[in-house]
A and B are shown apart, each in its own frame.
Chain A
């Protein structure tokens, strides 16, 4: 069977033009997706955990959904400071129930944002965010900057759908008329096709952004001969390109948010874009990684007021990144139970945090065995949104997309499982 206009549940591009062919409950062909998306689609049904599993001495045993959910609810109810972490590769509906559960339990809920674009949000909270939807860039932008990111590898269709290789309504020949500037510490694949590659010494982004701001404001005189390895000549040239553009779009990745300077880098980039808006039109967009990490920020925000790291231990919603973020809570060995949903801290968190995760009762909800599995006491496999479950996700530019289901493998959805756990929690802890 052919399924058209399917949505890829991999990266924040949320490409919605996939053509998927299924035969006897298996995916046999995926068209239009990049290798990342198509591998996920083609392979996911094979590598699924067959049923929930529980620790049994040194090994594992299979268990029922009923027992696993009961266990999860028990662990959360027993905890003084439960942590619910992850949420970036699941449907918005499940995120919403997660928030309500964290609220009722007086727990902390945090998404993977805290280890990727958390600093971008802190910057936005200081100075705002001049952005737009991706179609706006596609149709208008004659200058695109990728700063500290490599879409060719991490968001492979970003350039063909939204920037360099995309047709633009207001451009005769979009590929020829659109300029590309890449700023990075190393010459990435993306950099090799750029019209202008600005190589910054590691840790130098803040200085380079400041220099560009100064030049755009007409103060080239204060800029030294080289800034973090970039010549003044190139800076002046890039600033001029930025001012001459009819519509400029700046994209940046975790290379900016996690480099020295962190949120200050992003703040500086936003202020550069603000400044450029006094001359022409500019927008800025963080390249969000997981397909629905932005959705977790959206859902958390309308329900609690804050995009991530929300602590309900005092019955109010309290937010203080650095204190209420998952890594910090784990590092301080503060939480005494953890529910991990649709993410893999086992592959990304510092060792100290993982040790604590392994110490406490940790439950993982994830379709596949991951690096987090060995740290858990129980894992509950669920359907993959966009394949065997439908649900909502928010694209990196805030456009909400409905992911559709084209397979039925008999797994419950994240919403169903978290809903079941929540139901049991509510039976004990009445609202």
Chain B
């Protein structure tokens, strides 16, 4: 029996409606309990801010394209190196750190659960191998279906059940978590060096539209009763004027689930652009946020851009090529047969650059204009908008108008005429930040029932204690302290075990891989469907029997089974 008592914690736990209360937290065998015995290990939180462990609902930390980002960037590796010490491995990398570096840096910031945003099913084994080398967080992987041939053929035949059967089988086979759609249809078109412009363009050969792909996958997701909703990276990322396409897409989304959203739209900053070109590029955060405010079935994440060097990486192959033509830096691309694509380029976001400055403003505008914090998650689409180590600065920007104004004064002077940021007075409070960095994520991912994102009885004891005294500091003024506090948790506790303290890593942990396993009626099992097997074995370059990820790739793992409605 392993017991821990955290005394004098100033707890904010939005899921349990605790908005700041001094209390003790008792932990036994990794779970929150009523009380513990006298021999329990005791940590004195000293009245400091105590939150459920942080959850990143959209980050790129493990798998083929992330590793390629490292592989092609020795300059980035040099920028983040630390020596081996104690239980800590040597680390490399700033924007695409090694698995250990990612894990340590997230742990130091109080993060205990991460969702890898994009896993190509064919290369899933790779993602799981890297999960095993990410010791301190629980991991899950969104599985890509934007250009899946089987799904597109089912859509063309008007057979949503078949599409759902393919998706369900694939997610179980590759031990994935949710359905990810990146530039639906666009990645298949990119197989021919083409793209789609918005949701009504037919995909070459398959003759289905992105709108049909999105709608069918939304229905499939609900049929499979997956914990998380469809997770969408809209078409047209990064293009001036794309907000119209984003809004049109949002308007497609029905409200089908009473426990969570029906659509999670990721890095919406990159999709809220006005203008007809780079010359009149401007923010359209207002209409996009307005639409989200009227659509409770949609949750977004910010995809905040922060100034400095980073690496962009996405399954959106054509977008990366466009970016490459803009930046003329190095470019990698990796199309995945029958499934999806990906691209990587390094970028430098500069304050002196008007477009970059507007992008920076848009992310903040979205977070301030979406009224309900449960509908807007704090992310950078790590590392696309910025490496995740910038989260504390983003928190401070959202909590302090003064800080925003001070930063605004340093960006391109014309930014003011293209954005509304200077006029936004809202300052988020601690509770809203807790929602946007853990509670909201847990709810959106559908993992509150397994004890994530809250500190109620029976919850997983993933806890972050920050050196911040809520009553004593004014985040609107003392934003430096907010940044410092969220950068380095006093304690990060994973499953009841302290794993980081004041910036030091204490243990070599073992993560849990969380995966979804929808159970489908045997007569709808696509693996028994001769046409599907024939298609698979003929056109993939691996045999169908070698495709599923074997159990041995998952060490500690949690299978979230669901009874599929099919």
Contact = CB atoms under 8 A, between A and B. Distances in A.
Interface string B330-352: 11111111100000110000000
Contacts of B92: 304-306, 316-317
A392 B81 CA distance: 28
Contact of B539 (A4, A131, A169, A299): A169
Interface string B524-562: 000000000000001111110110001000000000000
Interface in A91-139: 92, 96, 100, 103-104, 121, 124-136, 138-139
B84 A103 contact: yes
Interface residues of A, number: 64
- Most interface-central of B87, B333, B334, B550 (chain A CB within 10 A): B333
B74 interface: yes
> What 9 A-B pairs are tightest by C-beta distance, nearest first?
A305-B92, A135-B337, A281-B193, A305-B77, A135-B541, A128-B330, A315-B83, A132-B335, A400-B125
16 contacts: A17-B543, A131-B333, A133-B122, A135-B337, A135-B540, A139-B338, A140-B191, A247-B191, A278-B325, A302-B70, A302-B133, A315-B90, A316-B83, A316-B84, A399-B123, A431-B87
Interface in B155-171: none
B90 A298 contact: no
A16 interface: yes
A124 B84 contact: no
Interface in B64-98: 64, 67-68, 70-74, 77, 80-87, 89-93, 97-98
Contacts of A161: 541
Interface in A236-287: 246-247, 274, 277-278, 280-281, 283
Nearest to A398: B64
B133 A303 contact: yes
B331 A128 contact: yes
A170 interface: yes
B342 to A, nearest CB: 10
B62 to A, nearest CB: 8
Contact of B72 (A100, A128, A162, A302): A128
A302 B90 contact: no
B334 A128 contact: no
A144 to B, nearest CB: 15
Given A121-B71, A135-B122, 15 more contacts: A16-B542, A125-B74, A126-B330, A130-B333, A131-B334, A136-B335, A138-B539, A281-B190, A298-B126, A303-B99, A303-B133, A305-B92, A317-B92, A398-B123, A431-B87
Contact of A305 (B98, B191, B539): B98
Contact of A128 (B101, B123, B193, B345): B345
A315 to B, nearest CB: 4
Given A281-B193, A319-B77, A128 B332 contact: yes
A147 interface: no
A4 B336 CA distance: 25
A263 to B, nearest CB: 13
Contacts of B101: 305
Contacts of A302: 62, 67, 70, 98-99, 129-130, 133
Instruction: Please classify how large the interface on chain B is, using the bins under 10, 10 to 19, 20 to 34, 35 or more.
Output: 35 or more
Interface of A: 4-5, 7, 16-17, 92, 96, 100, 103-104, 121, 124-136, 138-140, 161-162, 167, 169-170, 246-247, 274, 277-278, 280-281, 283, 297-299, 301-307, 312, 314-317, 319, 392, 394, 398-402, 431
B538 A283 contact: no
Contacts of A307: 71
B125 A247 contact: no
Contacts of A431: 84, 86-87
B100 interface: yes
Nearest to B77: A305
B70 A305 contact: yes
Interface centre among B62, B123, B538 (most CB of A within 10 A): B123
Nearest to A168: B539
B98 A400 contact: no
A414 to B, nearest CB: 16
Nearest to A100: B89
B321 interface: yes
A353 B83 CA distance: 30
Given A5-B546, A302-B67, A399-B541, A283 B332 contact: no
A16 B100 contact: no
A297 B73 CA distance: 13
A314 B78 CA distance: 14
Interface in B349-405: none
B192 A133 contact: no
B205 A170 contact: yes
Contacts of B538: 167
A170 B321 CA distance: 23
